[in-house]
């Protein structure tokens, strides 16, 4: 028998559960046949000779005129930012039935079916009325747990946040090796979709690795996008200039937003950090360019709106160290400890345990990720003084080139759902601080249109927004 239903309301609106209906599940969809494309990023030769996991069947959507076999009127209050426990079982006859939940807010009713046809998030359906609110639900079947979020426009989710909010107080979705969505070696590709799709779906932190192509020529701005010593595409070099142009175009269209861009020097050849710092200063993040935030500090959201904030993971040329009264240029994230479960360096506090050598170590990685989420949640910003804590960076990524089960997409397939579970059910249950998740840096978000992890991260800003409306 299923566990009793629990409902977590991540919105500022009180919700009342009014009706519970039960339906027999329609015939499950058949799983795809044949070989699975287990990496989506390896060359076609390897893909054609390797079997992958076949997706589980999913439920068909209920027909509009479907008849329930049971109906129950209930009255369960779900206050904002709380968890409501019920005695309602989500299954009665068997594990495959669907429960339809009808909620009410300010006289307007909404419904959601659980589990959803794709076992992912679903938008609540308003049942009549004018100007309904918009809610999204994420249901965790194994725990009979429903999390409810406000349905934000992910391309402009920062719009309603207070200008005086320190950037470190926000819950920010990010991507690891952000531009690596191209055909590449299996340990190189970390993303399912490109930069613009990431931005449009809420990602606001980019992790970028570059190789100066002409390091000895200060007049050339060519920075090749790389991952370690490898190019990010087997079909030709990709360049930082195009990525920056895409980001600037997005910010022109969405001036309420900001993007943190972390840049690190990698790649083969003879080049150094000092050369990279001068190329960036002269050709990209110029102090006189109003679309870049180049000061060596964490700004407020208002200061950063419409801008790219450069986080440097490189040393500065000596000529730049004297900027800003000797504090240099750009947000300093140069020297955090390698392979760390928790390291504070200047304005950043980092979890980047990346050497998952065996599949058995993935559970350890998940534990480190969740522990860092808990650290971030206890921070409380002083919005009157526009002062916050460190910027928590939480890398969900890890890999081992020599183990197929430890390639980026394989690890993401295990880590990402567990982090969704933690955020929906466990994160900030004790209300110790502002409940921030920090910057959560992910692999393979948006794969097959699945942005639930990003929605969960963005949803963690609701309590901060409620406390300090714009």
CB 265 within 8 A of CB 314: yes
354 & 319 share domain: yes
Structure tokens at 265: 């020097």
Q: How far apart (Å, rounded) are the C-alpha atoms in residues 380 and 464? A: 9
Is 117 a residue whose pLDDT tops 70? no
CB 261 within 8 A of CB 247: yes
In sequence order, the 6+-apart residues with CB closer than 8 A to the CB of 44 are none
73: part of which helix (H) or strand (E)?
strand 70-78
126 & 172 share domain: no
Cis peptide before 295 (omega within 30 of 0): no
Is 53 a residue whose pLDDT tops 70? no
Domain assignment present for 65: yes
Question: Considering the chain, what percentage of its residues have pLDDT values greater than 70?
Answer: 91
Domain assignment present for 50: no
181 & 243 share domain: yes
- Domain boundary among the residues 132, 150, 168 is at 150
- Give the residue, 303 or 116, on which the prediction is more confident: 303
In sequence order, the 6+-apart residues with CB closer than 8 A to the CB of 275 are 212, 215, 216, 317
- Domain boundary among the residues 119, 150, 181 is at 150
Domain assignment present for 246: yes
- pLDDT one-digit tens code per residue, 128-162: 888 889 999 999 999 999 999 999 899 999 999 99
448 & 327 share domain: yes
- pLDDT one-digit tens code per residue, 377-393: 999 998 888 788 999 99
- Determine the pLDDT at residue 94: 80
Q: Would you tell me how many other CB atoms lie within 10 Å of the CB of residue 146?
A: 24
Mean pLDDT lowest for which of 27-31, 89-93, 129-133, 165-169?
27-31
Q: How far is CA 15 from CA 79, 101, 150, 169, 178, in A?
A: 6, 12, 12, 27, 38
Q: How far apart (Å, rounded) are the C-alpha atoms in residues 80 and 459? A: 13
- pLDDT one-digit tens code per residue, 281-290: 999 999 999 9
85 & 222 share domain: no
- Determine the pLDDT at residue 402: 85
Domain assignment present for 158: yes
141 & 165 share domain: no
Domain assignment present for 109: yes
| Domain hosting residue 275, numbered range | 154-467
166 & 141 share domain: no
**Sign, CA torsion 327/333/335/336:** positive
Q: C-alpha dihedral over 82, 85, 86, 88, to 10 degrees?
A: 100
Structure tokens at 18: 């009014």
- Domain boundary among the residues 130, 150, 170 is at 150
Check which CATH number belongs to the domain holding 326 and give it: 3.20.20.190
User: What average pLDDT does the chain have?
Assistant: 91
Domain assignment present for 39: no
Residue that the structure tokens 């779906």 belong to: 201
Mapped onto helix, strand or coil, the DSSP state of residue 196 is helix
**What average pLDDT does this structure show over 272-292?**
98
Please report how the helices 408-425 and 362-377 are oriented relative to each other, as an axis angle in degrees rounded to 10: 40
173 & 114 share domain: no
Q: How far apart (Å, rounded) are the C-alpha atoms in residues 37 and 33? A: 11
Domain assignment present for 52: no
259 & 387 share domain: yes
Looking at the structure of the chain, the number of domains it has is 2
- Determine the pLDDT at residue 159: 97
Domain assignment present for 80: yes
Residue that the structure tokens 């935030």 belong to: 293
298 & 392 share domain: yes
329 & 445 share domain: yes
420 & 272 share domain: yes
**What average pLDDT does this structure show over 318-342?**
97
In sequence order, the 6+-apart residues with CB closer than 8 A to the CB of 191 are 175, 177, 178, 179, 180, 181, 198, 443, 444, 445, 446
């Amino acid at each position: 028998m299923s566990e009793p239903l629990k409902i977590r309301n991540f919105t500022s609106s009180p919700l009342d559960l009014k009706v519970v209906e039960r339906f027999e599940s329609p015939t499950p969809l058949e799983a795809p046949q044949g070989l699975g494309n287990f990496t989506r990023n390896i060359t076609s030769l390897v893909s054609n000779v390797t079997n992958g996991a076949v997706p589980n069947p999913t439920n068909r959507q209920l027909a509009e005129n479907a008849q329930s076999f049971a109906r129950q009127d209930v009255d369960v209050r779900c206050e904002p930012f709380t968890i409501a426990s019920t005695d309602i079982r989500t299954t009665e006859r068997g594990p495959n039935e669907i429960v339809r939940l009808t909620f009410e807010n300010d006289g307007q009713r909404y419904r959601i079916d659980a589990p959803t046809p794709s076992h992912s998030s679903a938008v609540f359906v308003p049942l009549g009325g004018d100007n309904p609110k918009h809610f999204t639900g994420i249901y965790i079947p194994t725990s009979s747990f429903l999390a409810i979020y406000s349905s934000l426009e992910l391309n402009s989710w920062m719009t309603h946040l207070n200008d005086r909010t320190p950037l470190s107080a926000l819950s920010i979705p990010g991507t690891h090796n952000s531009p690596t969505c191209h055909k590449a070696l299996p340990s190189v590709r970390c993303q399912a979709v490109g930069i613009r799709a990431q931005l449009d779906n809420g990602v606001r932190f980019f992790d970028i690795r570059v190789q100066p192509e002409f390091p000895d020529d200060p007049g050339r701005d060519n920075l090749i996008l790389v991952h370690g010593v490898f190019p990010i595409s087997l079909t030709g070099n990709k360049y930082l200039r195009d990525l920056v142009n895409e980001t600037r175009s997005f910010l022109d269209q969405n001036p309420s937003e900001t993007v943190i861009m972390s840049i690190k020097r990698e790649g083969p050849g003879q080049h150094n950090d000092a050369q990279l710092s001068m190329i960036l200063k002269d050709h990209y993040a110029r102090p006189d360019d109003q679309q870049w935030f180049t000061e060596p500090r964490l700004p407020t959201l208002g200061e950063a709106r419409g801008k790219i904030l450069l986080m440097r993971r490189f040393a500065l040329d000596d000529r730049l160290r004297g900027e800003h009264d000797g504090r240099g240029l750009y947000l300093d994230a140069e020297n955090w400890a390698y392979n760390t479960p928790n390291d504070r360096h200047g304005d950043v506090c980092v979890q980047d345990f990346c050497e998952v050598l065996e599949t058995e170590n993935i559970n350890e990685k998940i534990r480190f990720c969740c522990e860092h989420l808990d650290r971030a949640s206890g921070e409380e910003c002083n919005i009157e003084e526009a002062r916050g804590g460190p910027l928590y960076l939480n890398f969900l990524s890890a890999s081992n080139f020599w183990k197929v089960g430890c390639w980026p997409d394989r690890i993401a397939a295990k880590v990402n759902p567990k982090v969704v579970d933690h955020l929906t059910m466990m994160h900030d249950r004790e209300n110790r601080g502002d409940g921030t998740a920090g910057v959560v840096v992910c692999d393979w978000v948006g794969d097959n249109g699945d942005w639930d992890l990003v929605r969960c991260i963005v949803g963690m800003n609701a309590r901060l927004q409620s406390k300090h409306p714009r």
